[in-house]
């Protein structure tokens, strides 16, 4: 007898079809292609999405180019006013947005609500940035005055991931629009639902038709067409390191400007003098929130030997008590992983971890959840630096622990992977905190804190974790070109070639 599939609660207003948004109109694919979209609790399709390809990308780029001049010519204040109205529109739909996000991605609903508010804040923040941002000027005595002119690059190609999709779309859309660019957005094909809310939000805020265009589809079809299009001079991508490498290679043909926020295997370094209670809270939240599907997750926990056994024991005890359940349940702390393919990949790492480490917690499906992409928070101890679960990004609720003896060993272990996105340091020794923060190879370091981000700060990694920085004025710099204009204030003293006594 077949056990019936348990369906996830369907949010109100769930569409049957998710279409592209091109030139201010909802449209299907040029070739009529579609693909199924399923929720991660039942893994049963709930909608069909338009499957974009080169013809759809070309239509979207044409619409974006046609809208570019008028949008770029607006004053910074006028564009900022539009962005503030977008933020208002997001907040007005925050509950529906959170329900869509949770249903589509498996993110616990109470965490999805936080993502909705963060998306609105991204638009408010970049509205403030573009109004306050000045341009440089330089005076060379009484002879010359020089000033910088900043202008939008043109059509920005944005390719976003499936984890916290709406918030990460806002993270790219807001600065691109603030800078005066028009946009073609390619959302992740596994989680396109919340992107279906953008047309209503943007149109309601007065964003002109064609300024933002959305083309759904797979990365190797719609995404590749966007990267290859000669009319898109800039690509911002968040996703896997392998895909990022491929995009950079493809972008080289047209010498495109690229920003790549890629994978991570971030270390958490815990010294014996640290506030262990605070460090424990931070580690648990950092690796198990968002279902562990976050690039900055502290998935390698390095603990000084005098407190290693105690910390590992307490971490495992707490992990075993984390509430795993339906994403729609407000009590749920870890929901369902996004897609069966990804779920299978994470489970493969768990099986590998049984060989490479000592399993302290989790390692399988919760007994009360017989269907859906669920995994207990999983803790492995005594993991060597050569282990794959120590070296490779798992992107799920799985953490690897290893001991260290000296500060030098801690830094060596922290740097012993190809990645370098984030790092976390726990110690009450301030001078040591500075030493470790400077020595760790990562784009971002938090000392005695989890991932608390200030939107003014640069975001990005080193090594295999990415190329470039976004955030604050760095984002505006990415979406604009700078030109230096030199003005003579007096007759220049130019050597007179072709006359006697030139030199």
Catalytic residues: 261, 295
Measured from the Cβ of residue 464, the count of other Cβ atoms closer than 10 Å reads: 20
Are the beta carbons of 56 and 213 closer than 8 angstroms?
no
φ, ψ of residue 4 in degrees (nearest 5): -65, 145
Are the beta carbons of 215 and 52 closer than 8 angstroms?
yes
The radius of gyration computed from the CA coordinates of the chain, to the nearest angstrom, equals: 25
Give me the sign of the Cα torsion angle 348, 349, 354, 355.
positive
Are the beta carbons of 293 and 449 closer than 8 angstroms?
no
Pairing of strands 155-159, 182-186: parallel
How is residue 196 annotated by DSSP? G
How is residue 148 annotated by DSSP? E
Separation between Cα atoms, residue 297 and residue 463, nearest integer Å: 17
Give the position of tokens 């590749």: 224
Q: Which H or E element spans position 407?
A: helix 407-414
Are the beta carbons of 238 and 296 closer than 8 angstroms?
no
Are the beta carbons of 295 and 420 closer than 8 angstroms?
no
Separation between Cα atoms, residue 394 and residue 344, nearest integer Å: 11
Buried/exposed code over 295-308 (b: 16+ C-beta within 10 A; e: otherwise): bbbbbbbbbbeebb
Separation between Cα atoms, residue 195 and residue 90, nearest integer Å: 12
Q: Which H or E element spans position 446?
A: strand 444-447
Alpha-helical (H) ranges within 229-304 are 241-251, 276-288
From the list 375, 353, 175, the residue with the least C-alpha distance to 292 is 375
CA 168 to chain centroid, in Å, comes to: 5
Separation between Cα atoms, residue 363 and residue 366, nearest integer Å: 9
Separation between Cα atoms, residue 5 and residue 12, nearest integer Å: 21
Q: Which H or E element spans position 473?
A: helix 473-478
Give 459's strand partners: 470
């Amino acid at each position: 007898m077949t056990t019936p599939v348990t369906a996830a609660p369907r949010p109100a207003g769930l569409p049957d079809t998710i279409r592209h948004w091109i030139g201010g109109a909802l449209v299907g694919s040029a070739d009529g292609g579609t693909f199924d979209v399923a929720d991660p609790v039942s893994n049963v399709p709930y909608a069909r999405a338009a499957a974009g390809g080169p013809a759809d990308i070309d239509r979207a780029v044409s619409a974006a180019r046609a809208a570019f001049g008028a949008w770029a010519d607006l004053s910074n204040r006028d564009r900022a006013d539009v962005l503030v109205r977008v933020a208002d529109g997001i907040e007005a739909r925050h509950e529906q947005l959170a329900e869509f996000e949770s249903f589509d991605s498996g993110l616990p609903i109470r965490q999805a609500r936080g993502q909705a508010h963060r998306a609105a804040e991204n638009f408010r923040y970049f509205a403030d940035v573009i109004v306050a941002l000045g341009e440089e000027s330089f005076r060379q005595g009484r002879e010359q005055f020089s000033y910088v002119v900043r202008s939008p690059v043109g059509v920005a190609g944005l390719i976003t991931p499936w984890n916290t999709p709406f918030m990460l779309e806002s993270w790219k859309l807001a600065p691109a629009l603030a800078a005066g660019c028009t946009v073609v957005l390619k959302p992740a094909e596994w989680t396109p639902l919340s992107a279906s809310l953008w047309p209503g939000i943007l149109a309601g805020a007065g964003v002109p038709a064609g300024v933002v265009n959305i083309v759904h589809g797979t990365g190797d079809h719609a995404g590749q067409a966007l990267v290859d299009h000669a009319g898109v001079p800039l690509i911002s991508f968040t996703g896997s390191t392998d895909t990022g490498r491929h995009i950079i290679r493809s972008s080289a043909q047209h010498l495109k400007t690229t920003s790549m926020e890629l994978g991570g295997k971030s270390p958490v370094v815990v010294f014996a003098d640290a506030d262990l209670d605070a460090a424990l809270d931070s580690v648990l939240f950092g690796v198990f929130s968002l279902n562990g599907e976050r690039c900055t997750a502290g998935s390698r926990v390095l603990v000084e030997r005098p407190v290693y056994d105690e910390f590992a024991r307490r971490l495992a005890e707490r992990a075993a008590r984390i509430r795993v359940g339906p994403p729609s349940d407000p009590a749920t702390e870890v929901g369902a992983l996004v897609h069966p393919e990804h779920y299978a990949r994470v489970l493969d790492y768990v099986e590998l971890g049984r060989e490479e480490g000592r399993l302290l917690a989790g390692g399988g499906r919760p007994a009360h959840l017989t269907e859906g992409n669920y995994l207990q928070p999983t803790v492995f101890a005594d993991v060597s630096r050569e282990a794959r679960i120590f070296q490779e990004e798992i992107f799920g609720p799985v953490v690897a622990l290893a001991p260290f003896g000296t500060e030098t060993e801690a830094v060596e272990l922290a740097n012993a992977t190809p990645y370098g996105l984030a790092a976390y340091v726990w110690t009450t020794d301030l001078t040591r905190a500075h030493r470790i923060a400077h020595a760790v190879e990562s784009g971002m370091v938090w000392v005695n804190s989890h991932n608390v981000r200030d939107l003014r700060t640069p975001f990005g990694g080193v090594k295999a974790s990415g190329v470039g920085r976004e955030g604050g004025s760095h984002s505006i710099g990415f979406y604009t070109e700078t030109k230096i204009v030199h003005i003579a204030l007096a007759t220049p003293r130019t050597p007179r070639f072709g006359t006697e006594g030139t030199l």
